[in-house]
Amino acid sequence: MIIKGCCLKKSCFKSLVLARFYSSNKTVLGPSDPTKKICKLMMSCPKLGLAAALDKSGVRISQDVVEKVLARFENAGMLAHQFFEWAGKQHDYEHSVRAYHTIIESMAKIRQYQIMWDLVNSMGTKEMLNIETFCIIMRRYARCQKVEETVYAFNVMEKYKIQPNLAAFNGLLSALCKSKNVRKAQEIFDNMKERFDPDSKTYSILLDGWGRDPNLPKARMIYREMVKVGCEVDIVTHSIMVDILCKGGRVDEAIKIVKDMDSKGCRPTSFIYSVLIHTYGIENRIEDAIETFFQMEKNGIIPDVAVYNAFIGAFCKVSKMQNVYMILDEMEYKGVIPNSRTFNIILSNLIEREETDEAYKVFLRMTKICDPDSDTYTLMIKMFCDRDELERAQKVWRYMKKKQFLPSMHTFCALIDGFCDKADAERACVLMEEMIEKGIRPSRMTFKKLRQLLIKEQREDVLKFLQNKLDLLVKEPLCD
C-alpha cells in the first residue's frame, strides 16, 4: 500500500503498517487448509501484530502444520520465531524435533545465536536433542566463517549428554570443508581419527573439501590414504574425483576414471555425466558434450533434470538458443519436468545478452511449468530495474505476491535498489519497512544506498526510524 504525498514520518509508517494489518483482516478466509491460512496471515501481518491475528483467526495447529509453516518462512527468521513462540503456547500442542531444528537454523541464519542456544537448552530440558541438532549449528557457524564456534558446537555436545559419534565427526568435517576451511578439517581429522573410525564417507568429505580448495595433490593424497586403510572406493568417491578433475581442467583424466569404472562393472551415474557435459560446456566443447550425452543414453542411463540442465547450459554458452528450446521440448516429451534451475540458466544467459523481451517470454513459459524460485524473481526484477522498467519489475513483484512467495533478501534488495536509482524514496522506504517486518535484514549496500538518498532528501527522521527497526532485528551483520 502506498500513500501519495506521504512525508515518511514515523507516524506515517505506523499508519502504513496498521492499514495493511486491518485491510488484511477484512478478508473472510472461511474453512481452508490451516497451513495456507497461517501463511497468508504471516505474509500480510506486521511482526508485532502476528500473535493477535493468529489468536483472532481461530486456526487449529498440529505438528505437521507448524513444520510446514516454519519451513515456508525459514528465511524470515524473527517472523518465524514469533510464530514458533505463539504455537508453543497453544493447547494440546508440543513442538516436534523437526520444528525445533527448522527454527534453530532460521535463528542461526540471522546470527541470533543467543536465541539459538536458548532453543537448544529448551530441547535439552525435554530430552529432544540429537546429533543432527549440533550438526545444524556446526553448518551454520561454518557458513559464517566462525571456525572456533563450529568446533565448540562439536565439543559442547557432551555437556548436553550427547555422545559424539562418527556421524557427528563427519558432520564437523563436512561443515568445515563446505565452507572452504578444509585445512582446519584436515588438522582435526589428523588429530582425532584414532578416536573415531573413519569410513568411506569421512574420506569422501575430505576429498570433496580439497576439491573445493582446490588442491589436486592433497585430494590425491586423501584418495591414496583411503585406499591404503581399506575403505571402499564407491560410486560417491568416483563422482567426487571426476568432479575435482573436471573443475581442475583435467577432463580427459576424468574420462579415464569413467572408462575404468565401466571396465570394473561400476556404471557411471547421471551425476557424473552431468559433470562431464557441464565441463564441456564451460570449455566450449559442444561436440564433446553432445557425444557424452548420446554415450550416456547408449549405456542405458536415463538423463535426469540435472543432465538436461548441464546440456542446456552448454548450448547457452555457445548461444545456440534454438537447441536450448529443442531440449526443453524433448524434456516435456520424455516426461522430465524442468525445474527452476533449468529456467534460471536460460534466463541468466538471455539477460547477459540483454535479450529482455525474450527473457520475459521464457519467464512466462516457466510459470506454466514450474514455480519460480527466489533466484528467478531476483533475476527478473533486477533485469527490469537495470533497464529502467520499474513498472514491469513491479508486475513481477505483484505476481510473486499473488503466488504467496516470500521474497528473499536479494529479491527485496533488487527492487529497493531500483526505487533508489529512480530517487523514489517513498516506495523504497515502504518496501524496506516491509522487509524488516518480515524479519529479513537488507544487505549493507542496499541500506547504504537508501541511507544516502534519505540524507540527500533531508529525511534523517525516517532514516533513524528504519535504523531503529533494523537494530531490533539483529545486532550482528548477516553472512551470505
What are the average pLDDT values for consecutive 10-residue runs of the chain, which has 480 residues?
Answer: 36 38 37 81 73 90 96 88 95 96 94 95 97 98 97 97 97 97 97 94 96 92 93 90 91 89 83 94 93 92 95 94 95 94 97 94 96 96 96 95 91 97 95 89 94 94 91 57
| pLDDT tens digit sequence for 8-45 | 344 344 333 333 333 333 333 344 689 988 988 888 76
The whole-angstrom separation of Cα 133 and Cα 126 is: 14
Looking at residue 441, what is its pLDDT?
Answer: 87
Domain chopping of the chain, boundaries: 37-129, 269-335, 339-389, 406-480
Looking at residue 45, what is its pLDDT?
Answer: 66
3-state SS, one letter per residue, for the chain: CCCCCCCCCHHHHHHHHHHHHHHHHCCCCCCCCHHHHHHHHHHHCCHHHHHHHHHHHCCCCCHHHHHHHHHHCCCCHHHHHHHHHHHHCCCCCCCCHHHHHHHHHHHHHCCCHHHHHHHHHHHHHCCCCCHHHHHHHHHHHHHCCCHHHHHHHHHHHHHHCCCCCHHHHHHHHHHHHHCCCHHHHHHHHHHHCCCCCCCHHHHHHHHHHHHHCCCHHHHHHHHHHHHHCCCCCCHHHHHHHHHHHHHCCCHHHHHHHHHHHHHCCCCCCHHHHHHHHHHHHHCCCHHHHHHHHHHHHHCCCCCCHHHHHHHHHHHHHCCCHHHHHHHHHHHHHCCCCCCHHHHHHHHHHHHHCCCHHHHHHHHHHHHCCCCCCHHHHHHHHHHHHHCCCHHHHHHHHHHHHHCCCCCCHHHHHHHHHHHHHCCCHHHHHHHHHHHHHCCCCCCHHHHHHHHHHHHHCCCHHHHHHHHHHHHHHCCCCCCC
Residues 6+ apart with CB under 8 A from 282: 317
Looking at residue 181, what is its pLDDT?
Answer: 97
CA angle 90, 93, 94 (to 5 degrees): 120
The whole-angstrom separation of Cα 103 and Cα 86 is: 13
Looking at residue 313, what is its pLDDT?
Answer: 96
Looking at residue 110, what is its pLDDT?
Answer: 86
Looking at residue 443, what is its pLDDT?
Answer: 92
Looking at residue 475, what is its pLDDT?
Answer: 52
Looking at residue 42, what is its pLDDT?
Answer: 86
Looking at residue 205, what is its pLDDT?
Answer: 97
Looking at residue 32, what is its pLDDT?
Answer: 61
